[in-house]
Structure 1
């Protein structure tokens, strides 16, 4: 597996989405990073919620479909179950590591604006106050 960079906290970077796993990420970027959307929680694809995480009513599959629509268009399914996407390059700001090789980030798409806020405002994910950090939609 190729090295996947974790972008340092506070740094902005570009992300052209290529794959989406679930409603809060990771979103794989053509530029290398894997983005976990900051400050939100969506159900897992198996419809569970991890202990201690906010647990929205929206299904994991519906949340993933909503995120795919916000960042671009579905272009198939990858060999590990990720949804392949094509979409415009987003501008993201890192909140640092989200564990493993994921970068916690706030992302804006020329297609849909603030992705993190859109997922919460449309009911696909819940705001996770512990990580929201006074973000403004």
Structure 2
């Protein structure tokens, strides 16, 4: 006699992954800590040891292939210049992951979520003890441009 034990198996891997993604995504307006571990490009994502992946709010930087997406502001700085600047603003480079992300070590950032930035990223305004407001610093350095559509009433 066969018995169906599927109800006894517990959560699936997919269910656990979905729970982990939902559990680590800060809600709109939520303030959270991000200890940066890796950076992809000049506006993110920045991976946090605590779980979230952050896209810096209110700015646009070049994609790593050097392009700018249609409808996005397009700064003069290269993708590599912007990415390297963001790494320096949040900490120091400690290596390169095999996927190409820059591994970083730096002090915890204080961030405020603006909600989803697509995929599993959170749009956020982040402040570093080392460099202050990261979106403002990226604009001041010329590595990113202000994106009025998302800037809202933010002040540097």
TM-score by shorter chain over 0.5? yes
Secondary structure of residue in 1 paired with 2:112: strand
Q: Which residue number corresponds to residue 70 of structure 1?
A: 89
- Return the alpha-carbon distance in structure 2 between the equivalents of residues 52 and 99 of structure 1: 16
Count of paired positions: 137
Trace 1:1-137 onto structure 2 (pairs within 5 A): 2=17, 3-4=20-21, 5-137=24-156
Distance 1:96 1:76 in 2: 30
2: CA distance between counterparts of 1:129 and 1:6? 24
Secondary structure of 1:99's aligned partner = coil
More strand by share: 1
CA distances 1:56-109 after superposition (whole Å, capped 9, x unpaired): 000000000000000000000011100000000000000000000000000000
Higher relative contact order (CA 8 A, sep 6+): 1
Q: What value does the CA root-mean-square deviation take over the aligned residues?
A: 1.1
Structure 1: give runs of 5+ residues left out of the alignment: none
2-structure distance, mates of 1:7, 1:99: 13
Q: What TM-score, normalized by structure 1, do the two folds share?
A: 0.97
- When Rg is computed on C-alpha atoms for both structures, the one with the higher figure is 2
Name the SS for the 2:83 alignment partner.
helix
